[in-house]
Structure 1
Amino acid sequence: FGVIGVCGAFVAPVSGRFTDRSGARPVVLGGSLMVALSFLVLWAGGTWSLVAVGLGVLLIDIGMNGALIANQTRAYALVPGARGRINTVLFTTLFVFGALGAFAGSQAFLMVGWPGVCAVGLVFSALAVLVAARDRHGPAAPI
């Protein structure tokens, strides 16, 4: 699965170019949709198919990395002279909500098993899709 995880690194330049051309919103929306799809794949076949697990992990990795690059572009454009501080806030927020998601997923696993983990991931990624779809900000300014 480590080899599958490397795919996210290849997404970064593609996501960056697409964000520069089209703005952050479609990239964040596409990444969020990809993560939601990954949890559907994992829910459908994650308990019996190694291929489903591999595909789910690949979709999560590509979707998360693509959305992250787009959000970084958007955040850095806010105050170009404060990238270090903005990056601190961005990644602190990312890790705090990641920890909350991990906690919710582990509690769901204790209560209902693998389907609960997938349901939590699907709910959180669906919320991300809704937020991205409602975003009315224009394209991020070039860095």
Structure 2
Amino acid sequence: MIADPNNCCEIRNDPLIVCGEKKREFCVKNPGKLDVQVCRVDGCILTGDEKKCDISLCVAGGFFALVEFKGTDVVYALEQLIVTAEQLSKFDLPLERRTYIVGAPAPKANTRYQKKLKALRSRYAAVGFALPKKANNRMEIVV
């Protein structure tokens, strides 16, 4: 779990945790009702002018995840996630570190997205984060 001096986080153990903005949703199915720390990153945990993702999730005894809700500029989302990962890597995070992008359908961005992903691969590996999984409008995971 992340230290939370600014009250940016809440611990939730609902069987379904839904986070989102601008018609984008990230859903955590939590049948075992594990504690999940949900934090607002942009403007709360990280407040400077640097790029940052929207939220983080930390599942007790499980994994840590960064989530970016995006319109069609999913290429920019890759940059936001890696900068956030680099900023938060100083915290004691669980070994499994994931990243997710929930965006609008953007077929024209696919080639640029793949090129940018390839260019950033080593930066993600350096801070121990998996490459982002991407979904249109809604993503569901099970913990």
Q: TM-score interval w.r.t. the shorter chain?
A: under 0.3
Q: Which structure would you say has the larger Rg? A: 1
TM-score by length of 2: 0.27
Which one has more relative contact order, counting CA pairs under 8 Å at least 6 apart? 1
TM-score by length of 1: 0.27
Structure 1 or 2: larger strand share? 2
Structure 1 or 2: larger helix share? 1
